[in-house]
Structure 1
Amino acid sequence: MEGLDSTCFTESSKSFTVSFSSCTNLPQRCHSTSTACPMLTKIKPRAAAAIRSAAPIRLLATQANNNSQQLIALNKPTYNTRQIVSEIEDVLATAAKRELPSHIIEKIKQIPEKHKAANEILTEVNDLLFQRNNIQKQIKAYMKEKRDIEPLKAEQIENRNKERELTDKYKTAEAELHEILESVPNSIDPSVSSTEQIVNWLNPRGQYIADPKLEHQNIAQELGILDLKQASVVSGNSWYYLLNDGALLEQALVQYALKLARQHGFKMALPPSMVRSEVSNACGFKPRDTNNEQQTYSVGEDGKLCLTGTAEIPLAGLGINKTFQESELPHRVVGLSRSYRAEAGARGKDTKGIYRVHEFTKVELFVWSTQTQSVDELEKLKEFQMDLIRSLGLSAKVINMPYNDLGAPAYKKYDIEAWMPGRGTFGEVTSCSNCTDFQSRRLQTKYKSLKEKKSLFVHTLNGTAMAVPRVIVAILENFYDKASKRVAIPKVLQAYMDDKQFIVAEKSIF
C-alpha cells in the first residue's frame, strides 16, 4: 500500500513486521476483504484486518541511549510508483524535455527493474512470515501432545535469521528505489512547449531602448537610498542596505501587495524563515541544483535546518499531514518573509546592484486546491500578478515558461518579466506555478473527495505577490528623470510613502 512504510503487529505474543512501501497492488489504504494483496494472504485474518485499517505510520527516530522517541516532521513520500513504472517512457521523455543531467535520466531508467527487485524480496519476506506462523502453530500443537519441539525451534530460528537477512536486503533495495523516485520530476502540462510563449503584454510600449545610464544601482546610490559598499564590508558581495526612501519603498511595496492579496481572499501568515531540510526537499528545493551549485544555506553542522529561499516552503509546511474537507478548498494564504538564496553572485551582469541578492523580502501567495480546481487557480494567480504589475505602471510581458525552465515540482509556470532599461533587458518580477500533487505526496496533504468517496492528494500552487528588490529595480530604471534627478513614485504606492510623489536625493543616514 503506497504511503505506508512498515508496520509492526503482535499476534500470539510474537511481533512481526509487514512492509508496504513498494506495494502497488492497492491504493492508499486497503479496505478490501479479498485476497488480492500478496502481503495479506499469508498472515492471520486478525492481523490482516489490523493492516487494512492502519493509517499511515509516522516515522520515528529512536534516540540511541534512552527509550524516548523524537518525532520527525514527515511521513515517507507517497510516490505513485505504479504509474511511474507503467508510464516510464513518458517519464523519461519529460526528464529529457526538462534537460535533466544524463546521470539522473540513467537512474530513472532503472526504476522498473529496482521496483521489481524490491517486490520480489518483499514476497520472500512475507513467505517467511507465513512459514513462521505455521511453525508457531505446530509448536503449540506439539506441546499439547508433549512431542519433541526442538526440530521446530531450530527451524524457527533459521526462519527468523533468513527473515532478518531478507528484511535488511529489502530495506536497502527500497532505499535505492526511493532515492531514484525522489529525482523524478512532475509531468508537464500539454500547453507548455520547448520555447517561451508570450501570452500577454502589460502597459506595452512602441519600442524598448536600453540605457546604461539608468542602471538602478547608480540611481539608488546617487539618491542615497542604497549602500552596497558598506554592506560588502559587513556581509560580503550580493548583500545590501536600503536607506531612507529606499527602505520606505520596500515597506510600501509589501503593504500594497498584502492589501491586494487580502482583498482577493488570501489569509495572511508570517512564516518562519528557517525550516527542516527535509521539508525544503519535499517542496522541491534541494541544497544543490542538478549542476551541483549550492542553492540553500544550511544551518548547523548536521544540515538538518536551512534558510528558506521563499515563503512557499513554510507555507506548504502548514499542510503537512493535513486532510482538508473538499468544501474548504481552494484554501489561499499569503505569506511575508525574508528569503535567502545561496546562488547569488554567479550570474554575470545579474550580480550588479540588487537584481540578484542573497537576502530579500518577498510576499508569496500559496494555494491548496482540489485536483480539478488547480488549472483555474493558476490562471487566477496569474491575473492577480498581472493586475499588480500593471497598476505599478511597469511595462512587462507574461510568459508561459518552456520545459527547461520548469523546476522539478512545476507542472506549468508563468513568469512576468518587466522592462528594465538600465539592464537593457526584461527581468523576472513574478512567477506562479501549478505543482499538482508533487508536493502534497511528499507532505501528505490530502482532501476528502465527495465524488471519489476517499482521500486524494491536494494540488498546490504558488506565486510571487512581490519580490521587492526586483520591483525596486524596475521602478528606479523606468521612473527616474535625468533632468530633475528624481524618481516618480507609482500612484498606488504614494499613500504608503507619506503621500510623497517623488524620491529625491537625501543626505546619508550617517
Structure 2
Amino acid sequence: MHDIKTIRDNPEGFDQGLAKRGLPGQARELLALDDTRRGLIARLQALQERRNAASKEIGQAMGKGDRAKAEELKTEVTRIKDGMPQEEEALKAAEAALHNALAAIPNIPGDDVPVGPDETANVEVRRVGRPKGLNAAKQHFEIGEALKLMDFETAAKISGARFVVLKGALARLERALGCFMVDLHTSEHGYTEVAPPLIVRDETMFGTAQLPKFVDDQFHTTDGRWLIPTAEVSLTNLVRESIREEEELPIRVTAWTPCFRAEAGAAGRDTRGMIRQHQFAKVELVSITSPEQSTDEHERMTGCAEEVLKRLDLPFRTLTLSTGDMGFSARKTYDIEVWLPGQNAYREISSCSVCGDFQARRMDARYKPKEGKGPRFVHTLNGSGVAVGRALIAVLENYQNADGSVTIPDVLRPYMNNETTIRA
C-alpha cells in the first residue's frame, strides 16, 4: 500500500517507479482523488465550525432578547445538521475511492532491480553445484509412478486434476524434507517455528496483498474466509495492528504448512507431475525488521534458503528478478532455481522478497524506535525455505539410479529410518 503523502511529495518519482514495471503513471489521478478527499474534509470541518459558532450565537441572541435572530440561527444550525450526513457519506466514498486505487497498485521496485518486461531480463547472481551428468534422465513423475508410490490417477478420482497421492517411502520422504528444513531453520538460522491458521479472513489476505488483485487465484470458503496460498499470509499478519519495540526486531518465524491455490500456473504448462498443484507443502520464512535492517535481512534470508539445497547437495542458481517478473508486493526478489535433470532445466524452488513497508501499511504494523518521535512502519520479508514438493521432485530426479531406485540424500537418512535407498 502506498502513502499518498509520499506520492504528493514526489509524483514524478512515483510514476518513474511504475514505469519500471511497465505501468502507466498514476500520480495525477491519485492526487486528484486525494484533492477531492481533502476538499470534502475541509468542507466538513467548515460546516462543523459554523454549526458550533451558530449554536453559540443563538445563546448570545437570546441573551440580548433578539428572538428573530435566534430563530434564524436555529434554522441555520438545523440545515447544517441535516446536511452533514450527506457530506460524511461523500467523504467516506472519496476515502474508499482513494484507498481502492492505492490498493490496486504494486510496490515500487528498488533502485538495484534490473529493469525489463519479463523473466528474460532476470540476472543470474550465482550458481552453486554442477548438474549431474545423467544418461536418459527420467522426470519425477516417471520415477514415482514406476516405484508405484506416486499416484495421480487416484488423486484425480478423489479431487480432480493437479493433485497427487504419495505413498510409502515417498510420503515419508516428503515428511522428511519438511522436518529437515524446519529443524535447520530453527536450530541454526534463528527462526521460531509457528503452527499458524490455514484459514484466514479478508483483511488478513488484504494485508499481504493477495486481495483484492488476486482474488481469482484463491480458494474461498462457504463462510467467506480463505485457504492460505502460502504461510506468508498468516506469519506476516502476526504483527498486524500492533506496535512493537525496536528491541524485538528482527522477528524471524517459520512454518511448514499445506498451501492452496485455485490458479495452478500458466495454462498448458506442467500439466503432468507435481510442479504446479492446487495443494502443496512449503516451508515459509518471514522476517519483520526495521527499515535499516531489511536489506541485510534479505541477503540473510536468501542464504538460509540456499543452505537447504546445499545440505541436500542439489545444484541451483540464484537470480535477481527483473521489474517485469517480480511479485505485486515485492521491492526486490531473489529466485532460487534448482536443477532438474529430467527436464534438463533449472526450475524455481524458492522466492525471497523484501517488501519494504508496503505490506506493513496494509496491516498497520509498526514499531517504536529507540530514538525519534512516534512509531514507524516495519519492513516485511518473506521467502520459501523451501517448497517441499519441488524439493521432493529435485531429490527424485537428481538422485535417480539406472535401476529405477532413488538414493536418499545423507541429511535425510536420519528421518528415513537410516535407509539409503528407495526401491519399488
TM-score, normalised relative to structure 1 = 0.78
> Which amino acid counterpart does residue 21 of structure 2 have in structure 1?
R
Query: What residue in structure 2 maps to residue 232 of structure 1?
Result: 156
**Superposition pairs for residues 102-251 of structure 1, below 5 Å?**
105=24, 109-148=28-67, 149-194=70-115, 195-205=121-131, 211=136, 214-251=138-175
TM-superposed deviation, 1:132 = 0.6
Q: Which residue of structure 2 lines up, in the alignment, with residue 258 of structure 1?
A: 182
| 1:481 equivalent in alignment to 2:389 | no
Write 1 or 2 for the structure with the bigger share of helix. Answer: 2
Aligned length: 416
Q: Which moved more, 1:388-397 or 1:278-287?
A: 278-287
Query: Which of 83, 89, 113 is equivalent to 2:12?
Result: 89
SS, match of residue 342 in structure 2: coil
Question: What letter is aligned with 1:296?
Answer: Q
Instruction: Specify which of 361, 365, 368 is matched with residue 445 of structure 1.
Output: 365
- Separation in 2, partners of 1:106, 1:334: 37
Can you list the C-alpha shifts for 1:215-264, whole angstroms capped at 9, x where unaligned?
A: 11111011122110000011000011111011101111111111111122
Q: Helix, strand or coil for the counterpart of 1:265?
A: coil
**Structure 1, gaps ≥5 residues long:** 1-76, 506-510
**Contact kept? 1:210, 1:425, Cα under 8 Å:** no
487 and 233 in structure 1: CA distance in 2 versus 1, 3 angstrom threshold: same
Contact 2:206 2:362 in 1 (8 A): no
Counterpart residue type for residue 480 of structure 1: Q
Work out the CA distance in 1 between the residues paired with 2:390 and 2:16: 34
Match of 1:274 in 2: 199
- 8 Å CA contact 2:220–2:227 kept in 1: the answer is yes
Inter-CA distance 209–127: structure 2 relative to 1 (3 Å threshold): farther
Verify the 8 A CA contact 2:15 2:26 in the aligned structure 1.
Answer: no
CA displacement, residues 265-302 of structure 1 (integer Å, 9 cap, x when unaligned): 1111011111112211220113654xxx821111126x
Contact 1:186/1:408 (<8 A) preserved: yes
Between stretches 182-191 and 359-368, larger displacement belongs to 182-191
Percent identity between matched residues is: 32
Alignment-mate amino acid for residue 86 of structure 1 = D
Q: Which runs of 5+ in 2 are unaligned?
A: 116-120
Shift of 1:386: 1.4
Distance in 2 (alpha carbons) for counterparts of 1:108 and 1:469: 42
Which deviations, in whole Å up to 9, do the C-alpha atoms of 1:7-52 show, x marking residues without a partner? xxxxxxxxxxxxxxxxxxxxxxxxxxxxxxxxxxxxxxxxxxxxxx
Larger RCO of the pair (alpha carbons < 8 Å, separation 6+)? 2
8 Å CA contact retained: 1:216, 1:477: yes
RMSD: 1.9
Q: Which residue of 1 aligns with 2:221?
A: 299
Q: Please say if residues 374 and 436 of structure 1, whose CA atoms lie closer than 8 Å, have aligned partners that are also in contact.
A: yes
Partner in structure 2 of residue 436 of structure 1: 356
Deviation at 1:345, TM superposition (A): 5.9
Contact 1:323 1:446 (8 Å CA) reproduced: yes
- Contact 2:404-2:423 at 8 Å conserved across structures: yes
Of 405, 409, 418, the match for 1:499: 418
